[in-house]
């Protein structure tokens, strides 16, 4: 492995706190982390004066006390192959995973961004619909001298629809584009290793 790649691994790992590094050490997951990454973790934790138990050993006592609180988080973070497309499973289950990111995390974040895009779209629609009377009041102020109720309603609805389209499309396409960019970058990195 080149020195520059090892330096990159070291710099990325050094950003993590000791608890996270110890957790990686204890899980001993070679599907996610390389031997070089484990060597770097060992070096960093030694510099931080953290005593290392054997790799893959049980969770330290301090974490066992909090095990009940961590159950729901661990269950959510589990990998269920049926939740992913065949292409995604190939990248997640690759025998030589990347050192700098976890493909499972990237795909999960991408899926969450797509869900958030739909949620934001629904929120924008509801938010604008609940402001009907406020917008109608502002439109009505322009027609005080010559009220035309049907025109006031038409202008109000037009303003709401335009706002929904502009704001909704902006947020929706921004989040979907970010989701796709994450996937493209992950697939580019994956293809560059093959």
- For residue 9, what pLDDT is reported? 80
Residue 65 carries which DSSP code?
H
How far is it, in rounded angstroms, from Cα 93 to Cα 68?
29
- For residue 75, what pLDDT is reported? 42
How far is it, in rounded angstroms, from Cα 55 to Cα 96?
19
Angle made by CA atoms 37, 40, 42, in degrees to the nearest 5: 110
The answer to whether 182 and 109 have CB atoms below 8 angstroms apart is yes
Read off φ and ψ for residue 146, nearest 5 degrees.
-135, 80
How far is it, in rounded angstroms, from Cα 39 to Cα 50?
14
- For residue 173, what pLDDT is reported? 92
Read off φ and ψ for residue 131, nearest 5 degrees.
-95, 10
DSSP 3-state of 93: coil
Q: Return the H-helix or E-strand segment holding 151.
A: helix 149-193
- Give 32-54 pLDDT, tens digit per residue: 788 888 888 888 888 888 887 77
Answer yes or no: pTM beyond 0.75: no
- Give 121-151 pLDDT, tens digit per residue: 899 989 888 888 898 888 988 888 888 889 9
- For residue 2, what pLDDT is reported? 67
- Give the residue ranges of the chain where pLDDT is below 50: 60-75
- For residue 58, what pLDDT is reported? 58
The answer to whether 166 and 173 have CB atoms below 8 angstroms apart is no
The answer to whether 86 and 56 have CB atoms below 8 angstroms apart is no
């Amino acid at each position: 492995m080149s020195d520059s790649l090892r330096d990159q691994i070291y710099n990325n790992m050094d950003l993590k706190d000791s608890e996270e590094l110890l957790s990686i050490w204890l899980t001993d997951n070679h599907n996610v982390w390389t031997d070089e990454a484990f060597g770097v973790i060992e070096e960093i934790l030694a510099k931080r004066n953290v005593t290392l138990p054997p790799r893959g050993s049980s969770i330290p006592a301090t974490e066992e006390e909090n095990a009940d609180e961590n159950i729901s988080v661990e269950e959510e973070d589990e990998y269920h192959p049926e939740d992913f497309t065949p292409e995604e499973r190939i990248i997640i289950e690759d025998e030589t995973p990347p050192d700098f990111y976890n493909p499972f995390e990237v795909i999960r974040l991408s899926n969450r961004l797509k869900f958030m895009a739909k949620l934001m779209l629904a929120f924008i629609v509801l938010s604008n619909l609940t402001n009907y009377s406020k917008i109608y009041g502002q439109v009505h102020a322009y027609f005080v001298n010559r009220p035309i109720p049907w025109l006031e309603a038409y202008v109000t609805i037009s303003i709401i629809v335009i706002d929904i389209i502009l704001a909704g499309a902006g947020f929706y396409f921004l989040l979907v584009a970010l989701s796709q960019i994450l996937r493209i970058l992950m697939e580019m990195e994956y293809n560059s290793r093959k």
